[in-house]
Amino acid sequence: MQTETNPTLPAAANAVEEAQHDFDYPQREAAFFYGLFLRGHSAEELRRDIEVPQAVLLKWHREAEREPTLRDVFTRMAEYRRHVLAIFETLVDTESRPQRVQ
């Protein structure tokens, strides 16, 4: 007798793996935002887009209190966004410095 497998389980596992993989490369996301900056978008607006708003952090905190297993996920997301912002700030700072010609 053959049992049926749930086809959504492998897809869900792949989605989790892909999400974790995305957290491995904050440089890619910072480069995306830097590209928007180079195309004329305001650095301040982009910073707001990158940052996790305080209201969202509070919501995540409440969710983590109800579901403690989510705490690590929320912490990882917040750290990731801070890392993206730091890389973006470095790129913008480098762009705004006058270039020395030798």
Structure confidence by residue, pLDDT tens digits, 45-90:
999 999 999 999 999 999 999 999 999 999 999 999 999 999 999 9
Q: What is the CA radius of gyration of the chain?
A: 19
Whether residue 102 contacts residue 64, with contact meaning beta carbons closer than 8 Å, is answered with no
Q: What are the helix and strand counts (H, E) for the chain? A: 5, 0
The DSSP line for 30-74 is: HHHHHHHHHTT--HHHHHHHHSPPHHHHHHHHHHHHH-GGGHHHH
CB environment 34-73: b (16+ within 10 A), e (fewer) = bebbeeeeebeebeeebebeeeeeeebeeebeeeeeeeeb
**What pTM, to 2 d.p., does this model score?**
0.72
Q: Where are the domains of the chain?
A: 27-96
Average pLDDT (4-33) is 69
pLDDT at site 99: 65
